[in-house]
Amino acid sequence: MRFFHALIIPLALLAIWQAASLSGTVSPYLLPAPEQVLRSGITLVQSGVLGRHVAASLSRIAVGFSLSIALGFLCAGVLFRWPLLDKLLSGPFSFLRMTPPLALTPLLILWLGIEDATQIAIILLASFFPIYLNTRTGLGCLDSSFRELAASLHLSRTRRVLCFLIPAAIPSILTGLRLSFGYSWRALIAAELIAAGSGLGYMIMDAEQMQRADEVIVGILVIGVLGWLLDALFTRLASALLARRFPEVKEL
């Protein structure tokens, strides 16, 4: 039911778009009709162009986001364990967090070229901080009464971490993962617009240079729908796997 509710406004917008095209109030050069966009989309799919660009973007996201998760968890764990290191790194981390990844693009192109390494570095910069910060905050979330329980049970450090600290951080970690996926998806597309030879962002840029507004719209729709689907997949998966133990996950 929730899925159908989410479709109501997009379908209404589609109807308005169709009506505007049929009435001839908008130039088809600026805003092609929905059926023109659909035809372009089908052509792009049949020719394999769209699939190639989608695969390029998704593979970069997979690598960049995985690296981000690994690095975010590692840093959160290490800095939680050694607060002095946390203090020492707070300045550099704040600087990096406040610097938009795209501002670093020229430098990254200079260092890494316009191949995948630059895009992955941008994904890493965009998605690291939400994961790191939420995990770091989550690790400090354990209720003092449970700390006391762990002490009274004389548990090993490993069991304290696995049974108390990490589970207490799960809701916060999931929020961080969801936020950072959105950030990394948007940053990737933006990076592909500037410096890439493939990917959905590159496809849009290429279409714009060929003055193909219909293909630009196909690209935009694919980016939005893919992001939406991946986000929905993440929340469904998290809910299916974790909702029994963490009821708050349902509200993600």
Q: What 3-state DSSP class applies to 113?
A: coil
**Shortest separation between residue 178's beta carbon and another protein, angstroms:** 19
Residue 161 lies near another protein (rule: CB under 8 A): no
* Cα torsion angle, 103, 86, 159, 135, sign: negative
Among 153, 210, 233, 237, binds another protein (CB under 8 A): 153
Residue 164 lies near another protein (rule: CB under 8 A): yes
Residue 170 lies near another protein (rule: CB under 8 A): yes
Phi, psi for 28 (deg, rounded to 5): -65, -20
Q: What 3-state DSSP class applies to 114?
A: coil
Site track 107-146 with another protein (rule: CB under 8 A), x = hit:
--------------------------------------xx
* Dist. CA 173–CA 126, nearest whole Å: 16
* Dist. CA 105–CA 209, nearest whole Å: 21
**Dihedral angle computed from the Cα positions of residues 58, 60, 66 and 68, in that order, rounded to the nearest 10 degrees:** -130
**Shortest separation between residue 170's beta carbon and another protein, angstroms:** 7
**Shortest separation between residue 136's beta carbon and another protein, angstroms:** 19
**Shortest separation between residue 176's beta carbon and another protein, angstroms:** 18
Interface residue list for another protein (CB under 8 A): 145-146, 148-149, 151-156, 158-159, 163-164, 167-168, 170, 244-247
